[in-house]
Amino acid sequence: MIERKKEMGRDRVSRLVSWGHWFAFFNGFLAMIVGVRYIETVGAPESWLGWFYLVISTIGHFSFLAFIVYLVLLFPITLILPYSKILRGLAAVAATLSLCVLLYDTLIYDDYGLHLSPFVFDIAWADLNALLQGTSYIVTPIGILILELTAANYLWKRIEKIRKVNCGNKVVAVVGICFISSHLIHIWADAADITEITRLDDAYPLSYPATARSFMESHGIEKSTVAHAPESLQPALNYPIAPLQCKPDDQINILIVAIDGFRADLLDPVTMPFLSQFAQQNHQFKHHLSGGNMHNSGMFSLLYGLQGSYIAANDLNYRPPALHQELARQGYAMGRFAPDKDNIVPHALYQGLDNQVQSIDDGVAMADIKAIEAFRQWHKAQNQPWYSLVNLQSPDSYDTPVGFLGIETVKPQLPLKAAQKVLFNQYRQSLYFVDTQLQQLLTELPNNTFVLVTGVSGKVFTSNGDESRSNLSPSNVQVPLIIHWPNQQHSKSVDYATSHSGIVPTIMTQLLNCNNPAKDYSSGRSLLQPNSAAWSYVGDNLIFGIYQQDEITVIDRHGKYRIYNKAYSQRIRKKISAPELIEVMREGRRFYNH
């Protein structure tokens, strides 16, 4: 009798476990349907390979998630309380909550480009009214619960028939093959830079596709031996949002001088006598921020005028800045003169320019000299309006030419350590050298030349690249900005805050006669009027800072954040300001959502 009861108990548990697996599979299928919303956000694939990967990864991923939910929440209850009515009710409620969370995640991902986490939930909670509109947030959970209860009862009543069909192993095999195959395909795609596949990496929540770039290369599979994704892929980024409406009129020459590692507080009459006087005679912006603390992020914000979160957008590897597109349409000769630089991101940053880069074998300072000489020869040979980007990099490397007679060392006003004091004075020598080069450069230009001199980034006195990379203090991002308007000799000093994202709108509206609103092609506004935004974005897609009037918030890619005072000298213990961060996240999605 006792054995009979044990056998009946084991059979009941077996039926419940079997029912649980099929119920989990059903919810995996529902999750796949909800997952279509993620594809609407990131954009559907353009090739059969992309679609094949998307289908098998969707089946494998959401089936796996559904099984994990069952294993964690329902399987233990099956062993403790093996009663079908209780289990069916609990399962329906758990499945409803899980699907509602998934639906909420699709809303957040569409709006912010991030999946749910404690950090993101904190921000989204403050924006709940905007995310949840109408009565759908009440009706939808009720509808899902009814569907789950119906499915739970339906499967329980027919579980014996389903078991007799004996197709469970086949379903598990198909799901398992999809799961494993998707990871194997991703390993290959990661090693071969197949962006049609790797761009979907962050599309689904809790998705961590396998990568094995170093493993494949060690086995003789090099990136160059595998076909790359076609460059003709339709871009998911809508940039610019609307066609540019510009009318060429009285075309003038345009010169942008961008200096790597150019601190705003060292533009003084002793260190840089020529540029200091030049600034006093022209349009000088006293509180200007670069868009980044490194070469790529600083130049990206300067030339694209976009928030640094867009720097990794695959489309921008094929699409040059809107500024360069319009200059080409208006028939400008376009050139870039700079020391050689590796790993330019995005790849189309300088596309379409006559790139005359100089070797740094003899030092960065000598490369700067050669770059300026190459520009002088180039612009004198032009018989049409020209646009030129001259990038000088000596200060970022503390470099000066051999035999250069600099200026006297001074005691820094900044609180610096002994090693930093040495770097400080070497940095001043480099700035003085650049000043002499700028004097030669800017005094030989045609009268009808618009000149803009600024920094690519600021400079902190360290030889540690990682420290410089993570430092978003004013020293590392506040740079000079000086504008000379052709045929105008009046001076003006601007005391309101400006940033690199406003440079492109200024040039487009004032020089290229574009009528589009700046938001069509930029994250900024014209420099000629105060920006109404209460924040400025500094950084890239991995680590960025939000500059506000009295504080600086630094956030990394994992959502960890720290808040500092205005001088970046003291950490403030407070919660992040949700309204500003919501604006930042929406701006980071705006060119995807149109």
Q: Tell me: do 393 and 528 sit in the same domain.
A: yes
Q: How many domains does the chain have?
A: 2
Q: What is the pLDDT of residues 416-462, one digit of tens each?
A: 888 888 899 999 999 999 999 999 999 999 999 999 999 999 999 98
Q: Indicate whether 465 pLDDT > 80.
A: no
By three-state DSSP, how is residue 522 classified? coil
pTM comes to 0.75
Q: What is the rounded CA–CA span in Å between residue 103 and residue 107?
A: 7
Q: What is the pLDDT of residue 111?
A: 74
Q: Tell me: do 162 and 14 sit in the same domain.
A: yes
Q: What is the pLDDT of residue 235?
A: 38
Q: Is residue 210 part of a domain?
A: yes
Query: CA distances (Å), 90 to each of 13, 139, 152, 238, in order?
Result: 16, 20, 10, 45
Q: Is residue 561 part of a domain?
A: no
Q: What is the pLDDT of residue 126?
A: 64
**512-533 burial: b if 16+ Cβ within 10 Å, else e:** bbbebebbbbbbbbbbeeebeb
Q: Tell me: do 29 and 95 sit in the same domain.
A: yes
Q: What is the pLDDT of residues 136-180, one digit of tens each?
A: 667 888 999 999 999 999 998 888 888 888 887 888 899 999 999
Q: Is residue 238 part of a domain?
A: no
Q: Which of these, 236, 290, 238, lies nearest to 260 by C-alpha position?
A: 290
Residue 93 CB coordination number (10 Å): 14
Name the pLDDT band for 209 (thresholds 50, 70, 90): confident
Q: Tell me: do 326 and 366 sit in the same domain.
A: yes
Q: Is residue 18 part of a domain?
A: yes
Q: Is residue 160 part of a domain?
A: yes
Supply the range of the domain harboring residue 94. 2-225
Q: Tell me: do 440 and 332 sit in the same domain.
A: yes
Q: Tell me: do 169 and 277 sit in the same domain.
A: no
Q: Is residue 581 part of a domain?
A: no
For the chain, the straight-line distance linking the first and the last C-alpha, in angstroms and rounded, comes to 70
Q: Tell me: do 150 and 261 sit in the same domain.
A: no
| Exposed/middle/buried for residue 390 (C-beta within 10 Å: 0-12, 13-18, 19+) | buried
- CATH number for the domain spanning 521: value is 3.40.720.10
Q: What is the pLDDT of residues 88-117, one digit of tens each?
A: 899 999 999 999 999 988 888 877 777 887
Query: CA distances (Å), 210 to each of 200, 398, 512, in order?
Result: 13, 41, 47
- Where a domain ends, among 486, 508, 532? 532
Cβ-contact 209, 60 below 8 angstroms:
no
Phi, psi of 587 (to 5 degrees): -65, -35
Q: What is the pLDDT of residues 370-398, one digit of tens each?
A: 999 999 999 999 999 999 999 999 999 99
Q: Is residue 586 part of a domain?
A: no
Q: What is the pLDDT of residue 214?
A: 43
Lookup result for tokens 């979907």: 200
Cβ-contact 548, 568 below 8 angstroms:
no
Q: Is residue 150 part of a domain?
A: yes
Name the pLDDT band for 288 (thresholds 50, 70, 90): very high
